[in-house]
Structure 1
Amino acid sequence: MSQDDTAFLEDDTSQIHEPRLWRDKGWTAKVVKNEDGEGWAVEMFRDGSAEPALVGPWTMGRNKVDPKPLDAAAHQTLVKTASEVIRRHEQQLHARLNKQVSIEIASQLVNVRLAITPDEFEPFGTLTAIDSFGDVLASVNVQPDFRLTTESATRWADGGFGQIRH
């Protein structure tokens, strides 16, 4: 996307309701020529974002050459779809960065959680043991590639919840 193309994204306070550009309710839909030269596509941008949250095919108009014009109903449907894509992406990222297992120690259930902090320069993980009352028993930093399993959590507990050797 060129600098001229992103100019419409910078002022997110105004509404635009044009056949190929529709901005409303925090989202912008832009109908563009498909990169492969066949047909049309629509790009959905959340206000303030330079990258589209959703890119998908767009319907041809009645003349089978030009794209079908955007309207309020189409924009609302695209907003719902793009929002769902973002929500699923965030859920997948959360699941990838946060793991939990339960182990039993001295007849007490302990939840062991691993939370990865993705930092560009120094990512790390935090391993935390929590008892059945919600009290933190221990917390240590671990390598970001630490594999939390029932076995690794049990070894950590059996070792007195000390530092984990890398």
Structure 2
Amino acid sequence: MPFRHPVASVAATIVITLSLLAIGALLFGFSGVYDVSASSKDNPIIAWMLHSTYEASLHHHAGKDVPPGDLMSLNNIRAGAQFYDSTCAACHGVPGKPLSFIGQGIQPAAPTLLAASRRNNPKLMFWVIKHGVNMTAMPSFGKTQSDRTIWQTAAFLYDARGITPERYETLVHGSK
């Protein structure tokens, strides 16, 4: 019986195992068994994996853009509030109002960006708004909006964490 080096055996076992896992994943993927409909909840393992991938990608790619010096000015926050109201509110919600029928139909659900518990780091928000997120309903606004508009929206999201319905209305529509 020929002598087999233990490292070669371990390497062969790893290669065979990974090959079998890849074949199994392909067979599962092409079987049609997994329900991709937006009316069903994601498998918790798949949801965790996709969210973890999103977080890692976001932190790898975002944060390199330089915000304008006047990012947190009231004018920028107001402009961001108006853009949010006209474009983002349908999916992400407005304080004091029920989520739109569009927002209710998204799976995975769009995050409630105005919640007090959100961090909404402007550099990260800028990147997400500009580039969008694959396999979610988040579009790339960088294709249709200026960097200025996107920074203004990021400024609003940072400022508006935990915003009251009254302040939201004032920012969007001006003083009453």
TM-score by length of 2: 0.22
- The structure with the largest alpha-carbon Rg is 1
- Higher fraction of helix: 2
TM-score by length of 1: 0.23
